[in-house]
Structure 1
Amino acid sequence: MNLGSLLSFSWRMLRRDARGGELRLLAAALVVAVAALTAVGFFTDRVRQALERESHQLLGADLLLVADHPWPASFADEARARGLAVVETRTFPSMVSRSDGADMRSQLAEVKAVSAGYPLRGSLRVAPALNVPDAAADGVPARGEIWIDERLASALAARVGDRIVVGQSLLRVAAVLTLEPDRGINFFSVAPRLLMTLEDLPATGLLQIGSRVGYRLLLAGDAELVKRYQRDIETRLARGQRIEDPQNGRPEIRTALDRAQKFLGLSALLTVVLAAVAVALAARRYVQRHLDPCAVMRCLGATQALLLRLYLGQFAVLGLLAAGLGCGIGYLAHFALHAWLAQLLATPLPPPGTLPLLQGVAVGLLLLFGFAVPPLLQLKKVSTLRVLRGELGSPQAGLLGGYLLGFVALAGLMFWVAGEVALGAYVVGAFTAAVLVFSLIARLAIRLAAAARGAAGSAGGIGWRYGLASLERRASASVVQIVALALGFMALMLLTVTRGDLLDAWQRAIPPDAPNRFVVNIQPEQVAPVRALLAARGLSPELAPMVRGRLTAINGARVSAADYSDDRAQRLIEREFNLSMRADLPAGNSLSAGRWFSAADLGAWGEAVASVEGGLARTLDLSVGDRVDFEVAGETVGVRVVGLRKVDWDTMRVNFFVLTPPAVLQGYPASWITSFHLPAEKTDLVNQLLAEFPNLTVIDVAAILRQLKSIMDQVAQAVQFIFLFTLAAGFIVLYAALASAAQERRYELAVMRALGARREQLRRALLAEFAAIGALSGLIASLGAIAIGQFLAREAFQFEVAINFWLPLAALFCGAALVTGAGWFAASRLLQTAPLETLRAGSA
């Protein structure tokens, strides 16, 4: 048979099987898996293209020099001497206010002071008022003027022409800022933006000891000159200085999107896993129903090779059609992800490329042939005697090897889709462990059920005795059905009950009276009057000193970011620590190792010691007894670690990574910080505080957490949207497992009826068997969901979640009820079929 005839015949077979409903499960599983993966793939591809295309605008320059202290003038001078354009910015949080008296309004803003020429890439856009069309800005704000964004204008009820108090200056609002090309996302960037000229900054008096200021130099010019300058200065960077280019720039945006994409990718991979299970079950059922037609074709002269080519051709066409439909659904679905997540990027997303399309087609074909080819090998080996005897014999020796090939294909697919070894290994390992553990539990439970059946004798009735005996008689098939159902149930429970428990625990982690205001930048001479003002309003929070210090050495060895592979450790080494001093153990802190400060430590004659937060110690590989050196105000302060602390960060109190006795840091430049819970009826306290101390920064933590929660909600909604595909795949697995179970019982029920068994007896036996399968599947799935939920709570969210002890019991009954009901619906028609008709049709 030539290729054309082969494809024509395969197409006719596909159309016939499609009309008969033979391939619906296979096609549905493939479509769902491809749609989930391509929906995520199309969106992430658009984000990748946007970051690459707009990378220079996301920096506002070709090269960005970032530091937590002022850049030496030599860096800018050298860049200008090489023909590069240079502008400077300083960014920091500060409270700003409009008007005074009873009508005073205050708001935490992210202030950016820029020099002329900003930005070097991209452009600012401003509007003459709120909710009116904007236009490209001509330069930067003039002296005495500021531009504020829409959120700040709304918060302060400010209009163009109003005057805003910024520190010790009164500046006029000249425009509404609508677009800033290098705006990122970090802890303070959720606050509204205020843009001003760098020339007005000294008069505000906002930059004082303890101020968190980001100093940036933006450079642009010929690409070769920029690369040469970057290579030359990389070796001269000091502590706290780093370079950002289009490849590593805007890490906060990339981090937020990477996390969102990782969650979405995990959801899509879970869908692929369930789809693989559904494909394997559906292909197995398909093969069982086509044994007799293959035997007939063998009698008519078809060779084994011809049969294999025919079915492979049919499956190839099916795979391409299902993959194409899945890609179309995925393309439409990715617009929902775009609606939720694209706002994290301040740049339009370009159309997606063809890679997700190719990936979707490859996923469909790999899933189909990885798990459908092993059963097809049985069709190839079917004997012509089956026409007469209706038997296939035992599975071929290469069948398990074929399924192993399918698993390897699935594992490779997961690594490819995940895009990173760690994530792929995590999913493959978790899937493999779940299948193995579920299989062992299912096999052990079946044996125990068989033993219980024998011990119970006739007490359980003929229905239960026959149902449990049927489980043991088809042990391998029963294990496959139980594992498949357990995987589907586990996905459903993770989407519903366990996820709800995690969210509830997260909400309960923060006490209702937790501090919702932080006040920073309190200068030493302001400590007493600030404490008095708060006390007059019925508040008595603790004020803690902060001394800025940079970690320089551990046990006498100099440390740098290059000494650590962990990203968090590198960031900690690069930045300055907020050190503090106190004599007593703070509330919400407990010792996890070592000791707290003794009387000798508190005296000036004692050794300089420190207590370190346990998480920081693990990150930097510190332990009790280590000596740590900090650079404070140009001097080296060495301390011995005498204890490690466990800190309850959820209390929202002021906490520090490193604490020392007062004698260690006394005399070094310090600013002070405090936190307190401000009831809604006392919000005017903030205005009074800022009116008397305009340099203070009051951080409304509740507002910031609401902003961050809004971002997380966007990601959560997108993940839940992709989980809809996972949900669909789970239901397909359930249906495939139940349909396969009912089909396997078709011939057996006919034999039993021919031998005199009554329909009522068979009905009870079927219900008992389905109930046992459902109960065991639900129980196993609930245990898996609990284990995964506990792992996520501890490793991903760092809080404790109470175990739902009612979940296994509820899952047991719900699983039994669902499988019994669905199984009976699938099998009831078998009892209505005449035994002679079924026996004549054979056992397939």
Structure 2
Amino acid sequence: MRPDHPFVSTPSAASNAAPRQNAWRLALRLLGRDWRGGELGLLLAALVLTVAAVTAVGFFTDSIATAIERQGGDLLAADLVIASSQPVAESLRAQAEQQGLVTAETLSFRSVVLAGEKTQLVQAKAISPSYPLRGRLRIQRALNGPSETMSTGPTPGSAWVEAPLLHALGLTIGDSLRLGEQPLRIDAIIAYEPDRGGGFAQFAPRVMIAAADLPGTGLITPASRVDYRLLLAGEPASLRAFRDWAGSHLTPDAELQSAQDARPELASASDRAARFLHLAALTTVLVAGAAVALASRRFVERQTDAVAVMRALGAPRGLLARLFAWRLLGLGLIASTLGCLLGYLGQQGLLLILGDWFGERLPPPSLRPLALGYGTGLIALAGFALPPLVQLARVPPLRVLRRDLGAPPASLALAIGAAVAALAALLLWLADDADLALRVLGGTLGAIAALAGLGTLMVYGARIAARRARGIWRLGLAGIGRRPAQSVMQLCGFGIGLLALLLLAVVRVDLLRDWQASLPEGAPNRFLINIQPGEVEPLREFFSAAGIDTSGLYPMVRGRLRAIGERVIDEETYDNPRAERLARREFNLSFASDLQSDNLLTAGSWWPNDQAPAQFSVEEGIAETLDIARGDIMHFWVAGKDISGPVTSLREVQWDSFNVNFFVIAPPAALSDQPATWVTSFYLPPGRDGWIPELLASFPSVTVIDIDALLTEVRGVIDQGIQAVEYVFGFTLLAGLLVMIAGIQASLGSRRAEQAVLRTLGAGRAPLLRAIMIEFTTLGLLAGLLASAFAALIGWLLATQVFDLPYGIDPWLWLVGVPGSALLIGIAGTLASWGPLVRPPLSALRAGN
């Protein structure tokens, strides 16, 4: 042995320092040798797929999130809105323009229009020429005529109105009306207005005019009650910068709104879309991480001989540890670069295929997914591959002469701890939702522990069955029991891969179908308000005669919140503008005997009967905004009378059901003697718009609110979210297949040596092949049983605990999962073992593993 060999220990400090300085160069040479020897193929493929999946998901969800946010802006006519009861400060407009944002203005107020001798209360809206910034206006040139899309509003001297105004005043297109002192010609009917809210406060028909006509009306004075809105739109970075700046520069009467703030229905739909997409990304990481772990084990087995040779040549353990660390770092950077490139190309292909979902080209993603990709690759390697590779440094040099000596067994605590830490870091980093990440992490650890425990029982059951079996069945089943640790590992790997495939093939379909069904085609698209108590029963009969069902008629009592416990509610109570606005306005209270089907109690209990004393059930979102807790005493001023009672329950409301819902509900005995109007919602089928004038003629005091356009937009968010999730889960499908390939490859080394010995003893290829088929088919059957059970459990947990959806177990989950997995793994394992089986036994015995 040469004294200058880099692995020879000498007393010279300089000779000891040289290997340390050149460790990274040697690591690169060894990495190249590993690649040429084919030892890195599976690990590199698993790692590239992991990073590609994460970056493709990241690029795509980044674009989708921006697109959904922009489409949400279509319901607000902007990306952000500053709403105020006073003219918006010029400094806010100047800052927005400095940030590169485009702006528009609207002014809304209540007034009365005149048409001859007739008058009608309306919601007037004056708009600047650039309105709307997001979305499009749709108008009709005749009643029940086709709609056309407009990018700007009415011209000066003209007005666009909603159809109920024509019905109320007996007007037609081309007639004139007067708003204040300004005469206006009716040019069109408003079919859709992006930022037309569906709230009960906007019960008067809309009249839209150009801002240039507003001074001529003479209606706006310093004492007028006007809703001023400054609309903003631009790139996400500019919007974020402006939002951060505006947080400390808004005047007390101003409020900054996004589409989610303004529309709880949209917020509910887009929140579910985001949670589905995050779940898809997390599932991909988990499954691909399992593939990395299994591939790392195979890589470690293949490195044992090389490490033994280096130890025999005098390589110290510290040098070997550094070599493996440098090799992993180089492998991680190469795989992460390839994965990021593939992820970006995959996302670009997706944009070409699916860009028209959003009516315009999807916005470009940010660079954040690149950091996610590199971070994921390095964290996955450190958590799954580094601990077993570090153990390789302890391979005894005697391994060169005795092939039966392997690396010392890895520390179970170190391996599990590193894997759990890597999973936790990746999930918390990728999820953007700590609650969802912790649930997925807990469920994953529980599933792996249960898979390992049940897999151990099944492996030992197969060992017992092998003792009673005969012939080729005994040989096949004995293969499972002969390597119990490896069989349990394979069973867990197969189980995770099959679990992912079953979640994709069956459970995913059920969850997305249930999500889509949460807003069915027959969801209410009209609200009817201002129903007088004496009209309730006649109105029910009127609907029944027309064959139209309602969601139920509900009483509505106006009340002002005066105090919560000892806190008196006034303009100084809250710093949050939304909380201040909610506290300042009158509440729409209701009373009910039973809890509505689309409400869920999250705290407390419902009152036992109609005669229960005054108490309140509060929607949990407004409870959080106004800092209301169960047990607080709420004081309302209703028709000159103080009505107070404790908060006995909190409710989660399914706002995207579009049924009538209330923030605050009381027992009937508390409010039934107060002046009330009634409200309902109903579904009006297409083509029956002509029934509305008949309804208004029979019940002239009621007001119809049309939310059909809003329903269409929310359904669009759901449909686009579902298609996005379908694509994202495709990466998980590839990861699941790779896990099963890695699981099969994990036992090929030891299996090759066993087959060589058996063939040397006279066993034929055909019986050995049948035994292998029995072994892998049995493993697939056991893995299918476990995966089907866990897929059903996870599907139920996701539906009920994460997405608030109903869920029923699909029998196809078991019919496909159990026999399908047995067939899939049986065939794949047999084909993978065919190559080593046809090789001469001597070459297999010389190769070792």
Partner of 2:500: 491
Residues 444 and 681 (structure 1), Cα distance of their counterparts in 2 relative to 1, 3 Å cut? same
Look up the equivalent residue of 1:481 and give its one-letter code. Answer: Q
- Displacement, 1:825? 0.8
Look up the equivalent residue of 1:243 and give its one-letter code. Answer: E
Partner of 1:777: 783
Partner of 2:741: 735
Partner of 1:604: none
Q: Which moved more, 1:695-704 or 1:832-841?
A: 695-704
- Displacement, 1:790? 0.8
- State the distance in 1 between where 2:758 and 2:208 align: 84
Look up the equivalent residue of 1:438 and give its one-letter code. Answer: L
- Displacement, 1:281? 1.1
- State the distance in 2 between where 1:825 and 1:570 align: 69
Aligned residues: 779
Partner of 1:435: 448
Look up the equivalent residue of 2:369 and give its one-letter code. Answer: P
- State the distance in 1 between where 2:439 and 2:395 align: 39
Q: Which of 127, 137, 160 is 1:146 aligned to?
A: 160
Partner of 1:27: 44
Partner of 1:244: 256
- Displacement, 1:506? 5.2
> What fraction of aligned residue pairs are identical, expressed as a percent?
38
- Displacement, 1:686? 2.5
- Displacement, 1:378? 4.1
1:39 aligns with 2:53: no
Q: Which of 416, 425, 435 is 1:422 aligned to?
A: 435
Residues 27 and 704 (structure 1), Cα distance of their counterparts in 2 relative to 1, 3 Å cut? same
Look up the equivalent residue of 2:768 and give its one-letter code. Answer: L
- State the distance in 1 between where 2:695 and 2:285 align: 57
1:288 aligns with 2:298: no
Q: Which moved more, 1:472-481 or 1:692-701?
A: 692-701
- Displacement, 1:358? 3.1
Residues 743 and 552 (structure 1), Cα distance of their counterparts in 2 relative to 1, 3 Å cut? farther
1:658 aligns with 2:671: no
Superposition pairs for residues 96-107 of structure 1, below 5 Å? none
Question: Can you list the C-alpha shifts for 1:334-363, whole angstroms capped at 9, x where unaligned?
Answer: 346767998999998765454432332222
- Displacement, 1:278? 1.0
- Displacement, 1:737? 0.3
Q: Secondary structure at the match of 1:711?
A: helix
Q: Which moved more, 1:39-48 or 1:682-691?
A: 39-48
Residues 203 and 364 (structure 1), Cα distance of their counterparts in 2 relative to 1, 3 Å cut? same
Question: Can you list the C-alpha shifts for 1:192-221, whole angstroms capped at 9, x where unaligned?
Answer: 9984358999999xxxxxxxx99445499x
- State the distance in 2 between where 1:702 and 1:397 align: 63
- Displacement, 1:464? 3.6
Q: Secondary structure at the match of 1:270?
A: helix
Partner of 1:106: none
Superposition pairs for residues 354-369 of structure 1, below 5 Å? 354-369=367-382
Partner of 2:340: 327
TM (norm. structure 1) is 0.73
- State the distance in 2 between where 1:354 and 1:510 align: 35
TM (norm. structure 2) is 0.73
Partner of 1:156: none
Q: Which of 711, 719, 726 is 1:720 aligned to?
A: 726
- State the distance in 2 between where 1:774 and 1:648 align: 42
Q: Secondary structure at the match of 1:793?
A: helix
- Displacement, 1:300? 5.2
Superposition pairs for residues 588-603 of structure 1, below 5 Å? 593-598=606-611
Residues 461 and 565 (structure 1), Cα distance of their counterparts in 2 relative to 1, 3 Å cut? farther
Question: Can you list the C-alpha shifts for 1:525-561, whole angstroms capped at 9, x where unaligned?
Answer: 8768866754664568664432233555456666899
Superposition pairs for residues 394-473 of structure 1, below 5 Å? 395-396=408-409, 398=411, 400-402=413-415, 404-454=417-467, 457=468, 460-473=469-482
Q: Which runs of 5+ in 1 are unaligned?
A: 94-109, 153-159, 205-212, 602-606
- State the distance in 2 between where 1:314 and 1:186 align: 61
- Displacement, 1:795? 2.3
Look up the equivalent residue of 1:32 and give its one-letter code. Answer: L
Q: Which of 126, 137, 145 is 1:114 aligned to?
A: 126
- Displacement, 1:285? 0.9
Partner of 2:236: none
- State the distance in 2 between where 1:425 and 1:436 align: 16
- State the distance in 1 between where 2:573 and 2:783 align: 49
- Displacement, 1:263? 3.2
Superposition pairs for residues 298-313 of structure 1, below 5 Å? 298-299=311-312, 304-313=317-326
Superposition pairs for residues 349-748 of structure 1, below 5 Å? 351-393=364-406, 395-396=408-409, 398=411, 400-402=413-415, 404-454=417-467, 457=468, 460-505=469-514, 517-522=526-531, 534=543, 537=546, 543-553=553-563, 577-581=587-591, 593-598=606-611, 609=614, 612=617, 628-632=634-638, 635-639=641-645, 654=660, 658-661=665-668, 664-666=671-673, 668=675, 670-676=676-682, 678=684, 682-689=688-695, 697-698=703-704, 704-748=710-754
Question: Can you list the C-alpha shifts for 1:316-342, whole angstroms capped at 9, x where unaligned?
Answer: 333222211211122233346767998
Is the CA contact (8 Å cut-off) linking 1:463 and 1:761 kept in structure 2?
yes
Partner of 2:221: none
Q: Secondary structure at the match of 2:383?
A: helix
Residues 368 and 512 (structure 1), Cα distance of their counterparts in 2 relative to 1, 3 Å cut? closer
Q: Secondary structure at the match of 1:385?
A: helix
- State the distance in 2 between where 1:448 and 1:565 align: 65
- Displacement, 1:25? 1.7
- State the distance in 2 between where 1:573 and 1:61 align: 26
Q: Which moved more, 1:436-445 or 1:41-50?
A: 41-50
Residues 251 and 340 (structure 1), Cα distance of their counterparts in 2 relative to 1, 3 Å cut? farther
1:263 aligns with 2:276: yes
Residues 141 and 800 (structure 1), Cα distance of their counterparts in 2 relative to 1, 3 Å cut? same
Partner of 1:155: none
- State the distance in 2 between where 1:693 and 1:164 align: 26
- State the distance in 1 between where 2:441 and 2:74 align: 38
Is the CA contact (8 Å cut-off) linking 1:467 and 1:769 kept in structure 2?
yes
Residues 186 and 31 (structure 1), Cα distance of their counterparts in 2 relative to 1, 3 Å cut? farther
Q: Secondary structure at the match of 1:389?
A: coil
Is the CA contact (8 Å cut-off) linking 1:146 and 1:195 kept in structure 2?
yes
Superposed CA RMSD in Å reads 6.0
- State the distance in 2 between where 1:703 and 1:54 align: 14
- State the distance in 1 between where 2:733 and 2:557 align: 52
- Displacement, 1:396? 4.3
- State the distance in 1 between where 2:771 and 2:459 align: 16
Look up the equivalent residue of 1:738 and give its one-letter code. Answer: I
- State the distance in 1 between where 2:402 and 2:324 align: 24
Partner of 2:100: none
Is the CA contact (8 Å cut-off) linking 1:594 and 1:643 kept in structure 2?
no
Look up the equivalent residue of 1:502 and give its one-letter code. Answer: L
Is the CA contact (8 Å cut-off) linking 2:562 and 2:637 kept in structure 1?
yes
Residues 556 and 771 (structure 1), Cα distance of their counterparts in 2 relative to 1, 3 Å cut? same
Q: Secondary structure at the match of 1:172?
A: strand
- State the distance in 2 between where 1:51 and 1:651 align: 20
- Displacement, 1:284? 1.3
Is the CA contact (8 Å cut-off) linking 1:374 and 1:399 kept in structure 2?
no
Q: Secondary structure at the match of 2:397?
A: coil
- Displacement, 1:747? 1.0
- State the distance in 2 between where 1:643 and 1:301 align: 73
Q: Which runs of 5+ in 2 are unaligned?
A: 1-5, 7-17, 97-102, 111-121, 165-171, 218-224, 233-238
Q: Which moved more, 1:79-88 or 1:721-730?
A: 79-88
Q: Secondary structure at the match of 1:368?
A: helix
Residues 528 and 18 (structure 1), Cα distance of their counterparts in 2 relative to 1, 3 Å cut? same
- State the distance in 2 between where 1:823 and 1:661 align: 68
- Displacement, 1:674? 2.8
